[in-house]
Amino acid sequence: MNDKILQLKKIITETDQNKLTDSSFLEKELIPSLGLNDELLHEQPTELLNFYGKGLGLKIWQYPNQFSKYLNLLNTFKENINSYLEIGCRNGGTFALTCEYLSPLSNAVAVDIIDATETIKAYTEETEWAHYKKIDSHSEEFYSFMDDNFFDLILIDGDHSYEGVKQDAEATRVQSNIQVYHDIHSDACPGVKKYWEEIKSTKASEYNFYEFVDQYDSVAGNYLGIGVAVRKKWLHDF
């Protein structure tokens, strides 16, 4: 087994459950130790400098103060999340950690237009229910894939234009219970911000909405942000 993936699985398995549901522990200890993204460092807080491209090397492209609270929310639904799709997995760190946090799942799929990274290759090779598809989420091939699949949880983090995120959302809405949008608070992604505000007003009767948009004082501007839309009927059914 790949050492990095073995360590990730061991860390999650051996960490006390109370800690895994403690947002402060996730934010300050677990997530940084797994390694943070080392690109676009002007968007990254200087106080986390020791973790960019380091730690376990997962290169998670998330702010720990946002991602920790998001994972804690998912934990409240964990018993009813059996499948996961991530559109735009990049380095694969977010995908691997989310899968392990919710493990075991019946099916988890990461899709992107790039070749699978080392992390994605290793994780999907060592996790029988996890898979990678090199595919454009705006293609007929992807639409056909969605026609044949349903996912309790979908993270949309691909095309960050307004039309792009809208297309991904509409292509997967019927086949999901929870839709998650990345970069809803990013100055660099006005299209995502616009679409998120739009669905909060137009889909309020169908979904409960949650936002995780904490920032770091050392960063000039606002970046990332996670928006979660949970289908009300699904919540009512369990």
- In angstroms, the first-to-last Cα distance of the chain is 37
pLDDT > 90: percent of the chain: 97
Q: Could you give the 3-state DSSP secondary structure of residue 197? A: helix
CA distance 103 to 178: 17
pLDDT tens digit sequence for 148-196: 999 999 999 999 999 999 999 999 999 999 999 999 999 999 999 999 9
Predicted pLDDT at 126: 94
Q: What is the pLDDT of residue 2?
A: 81
pLDDT band at residue 1 under the 50/70/90 scheme: low
Among residues 155, 146, 148, the alpha carbon closest in space to that of 86 is found at 155
% residues pLDDT > 70 (the chain): 100
Cβ atoms of 120 and 146 within 8 Å: the answer is: no
Q: What's the pLDDT tens digit per position in 193-218?
A: 999 999 999 999 999 999 999 999 99
Alpha-helix residue ranges (DSSP H) falling in the chain: 3-14, 17-20, 23-25, 31-33, 64-77, 93-102, 118-126, 140-147, 162-172, 190-202, 232-237
Q: Which CATH architecture has domain 64-237?
A: 3-Layer(aba) Sandwich (3.40)
Give the angle 235-206-130 at the CA atoms, nearest 5°.
55
Find out whether 207 and 229 touch, Cβ atoms under 8 Å: yes
